[in-house]
C-alpha cells in the first residue's frame, strides 16, 4: 500500500488568507498535496440547495459535499480550505490550521472584496468572538489544532514554513507505523 499523505484543514473567517496559505503550502510541500477550495467546489459541483440572497452565500448540501470528499480524505494528501471545519469528520484531519486576523485588518480585506456591509459585520464579529477557533476546538483533538496569525506576508511565509516542518515530522512519525502525534508548532 502506498504511503498515505496527511489531510490538512485550513480554516478561518473569510479574509484570513486560507486560499493563499493553501496554494503556497501546496507549492512548498515536500509531498504532493491537492488544494481543495471547498467553497468553490460547492459552487462548481452544485453541492448546495440554492443561493441565500440575504446572506449572499450558498446553502450547502452537506451530504453531497461529504460524499464527494470522503474518498479524497480517506486517500489523504489534500488541503481542505474552507471558512468552517466542524462539518469534516474528526477521522479525516491530521492537522487543523485556524488562521486569525486583527478585526480592523479583516474589515479592510472584506471591503476590498466588495462584501455587503451585513456580511462584513457578521464575519468581523465571528473573528472577534473566535467562532472558527471554537468550532475547531469543539470538533478535533487539541493536539492537532494550531492557531496562526495571518496579518502580513511575513506571517504567511512563517506559517507555510512551519506547516512544511510539521509535514516532514508527520512523515517521519507515520513512515514506521508510529501513531504518536508530534506537533512542532
Q: Tell me if 100 is assigned to a ligand binding site.
A: no
Question: CA torsion sign, 71 to 21 to 15 to 92?
Answer: positive
Q: Tell me if 19 is assigned to a ligand binding site.
A: yes
Q: Tell me if 18 is assigned to a ligand binding site.
A: yes
Q: Tell me if 12 is assigned to a ligand binding site.
A: no
Which residues make beta-bridge pairs with 81?
A: 10, 37
Could you tell me which residues come within 8 angstroms of residue 176 by beta carbon, excluding any fewer than 6 positions away? Answer: none
For residues 174 and 119, give the distance between their C-alpha atoms in angstroms, rounded to a whole number: 41
The grid coordinates listed for 83 are 471558512
List the one residue out of 49, 35, 114, 45 whose CA is nearest residue 82: 35
For residues 80 and 96, give the distance between their C-alpha atoms in angstroms, rounded to a whole number: 9
Question: CA torsion sign, 47 to 54 to 56 to 133?
Answer: negative
Annotated binding site: 15, 17-20, 113
Annotated binding site for ATP: 15, 17-20, 113
Amino acid at each position: 500500500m502506498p504511503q498515505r499523505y496527511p489531510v490538512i484543514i485550513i480554516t478561518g473567517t473569510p479574509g484570513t488568507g486560507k486560499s493563499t496559505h493553501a496554494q503556497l503550502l501546496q507549492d512548498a510541500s515536500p509531498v504532493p498535496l491537492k488544494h481543495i477550495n471547498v467553497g468553490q467546489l460547492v459552487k462548481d459541483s452544485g453541492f448546495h440547495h440554492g443561493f441565500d440572497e440575504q446572506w449572499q452565500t450558498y446553502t450547502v448540501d452537506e451530504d453531497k459535499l461529504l460524499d464527494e470528499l470522503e474518498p479524497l480524505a480517506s486517500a489523504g494528501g489534500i488541503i481542505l480550505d474552507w471558512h468552517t471545519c466542524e462539518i469534516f469528520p474528526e477521522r479525516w484531519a491530521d492537522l487543523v490550521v485556524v488562521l486569525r486576523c486583527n478585526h480592523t485588518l479583516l474589515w479592510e480585506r472584506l471591503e476590498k472584496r466588495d462584501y455587503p456591509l451585513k456580511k462584513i459585520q457578521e464575519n468581523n464579529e465571528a473573528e472577534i468572538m473566535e467562532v472558527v477557533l471554537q468550532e475547531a476546538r469543539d470538533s478535533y483533538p487539541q493536539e492537532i489544532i494550531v492557531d496562526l496569525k495571518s496579518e502580513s506576508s511575513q506571517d504567511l511565509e512563517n506559517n507555510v514554513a512551519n506547516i512544511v516542518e510539521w509535514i516532514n515530522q508527520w512523515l517521519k512519525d507515520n513512515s514506521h507505523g508510529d501513531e504518536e502525534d508530534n506537533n512542532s508548532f
